[in-house]
């Protein structure tokens, strides 16, 4: 507040009361000065369990099995969830050999179109637990979708039906990677116990 005792008012101080923590984190990246000023404000936000709960529900819409902030003692549980999902120094996960393993998993899932989606997701649970793993899954799924689309154009009518089913599986896996979030064993991952109909698989 601007007073005779405090003639200067910093905009970030005022904004911190209603600015979401993810916005403050982006501001902190602008410069060293911004980082120095915003970091203490951000730490206050990160220690508030209601703020952190709301942050997770914004980042992961529809997340299942996340304890409400009224059910936890402090914000540490939410910070741990975010820390494991957005781990630092994950360059190794982006190495080509690991991506090849992920692509192979998607290729295997694509061929098992007769199984329920929940069972298929079991194969990619480790990758669904980090942002880097999900990025690789999306890349692999998109590449398999392109390859399957091309195969459909060249296939005979009987083989084409199989490829179309495989394409449907790929689309459902992509949707799950983008939208399926659940808390399991203190990590953000996916829900594999899905209720769905067998018809159409």
**pLDDT for res 200:** 43
Is 182 part of any domain? yes
- Name the strand (E) or helix (H) holding 136: helix 131-154
200: Cβ contacts below 8 Å, ≥ 6 apart: 168
Do 96 and 182 lie in one domain? The reply is yes
User: pLDDT tens for residues 56-85?
Assistant: 999 999 999 999 999 999 999 999 999 999
Q: Domain containing 27: what range?
A: 11-85
Same domain for 79 and 98? no
Q: Mind listing the pLDDT tens digit for each residue in 153-201?
A: 888 877 888 899 999 999 999 999 999 999 999 999 999 886 554 434 4
Average pLDDT over the chain reads 84
Say whether both 58 and 108 belong to one domain.
no
23 and 81 both lie in a single domain: yes
State how many domains the chain has.
2
Could you tell me which residue, 101 or 22, shows the higher pLDDT?
101
pLDDT score of 2 more than 50? no
């Amino acid at each position: 507040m601007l007073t005779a005792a405090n003639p200067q008012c910093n905009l970030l101080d005022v904004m911190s009361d209603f600015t979401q923590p993810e916005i403050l984190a982006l501001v902190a990246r602008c410069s060293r000065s911004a980082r120095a000023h915003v970091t203490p404000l951000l730490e206050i936000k990160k220690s508030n369990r209601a703020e952190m709960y709301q942050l997770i529900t914004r980042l992961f819409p529809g997340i299942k099995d996340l304890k409400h902030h009224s059910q936890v003692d402090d914000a540490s549980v939410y910070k741990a969830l975010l820390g494991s999902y957005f781990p630092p120094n994950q360059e190794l996960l982006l190495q080509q050999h690991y991506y090849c393993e992920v692509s192979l998993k998607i290729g295997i899932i694509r061929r098992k179109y007769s199984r329920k989606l929940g069972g298929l997701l079991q194969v990619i649970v480790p990758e669904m637990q980090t942002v880097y793993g999900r990025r690789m899954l999306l890349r692999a799924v998109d590449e398999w979708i392109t390859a399957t689309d091309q195969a459909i154009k060249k296939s005979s009518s009987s083989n084409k039906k199989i490829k179309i089913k495989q394409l449907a599986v790929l689309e459902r896996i992509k949707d799950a990677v983008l939208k399926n979030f659940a808390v399991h064993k203190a990590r953000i991952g996916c829900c594999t116990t899905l209720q769905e109909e067998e018809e159409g698989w």
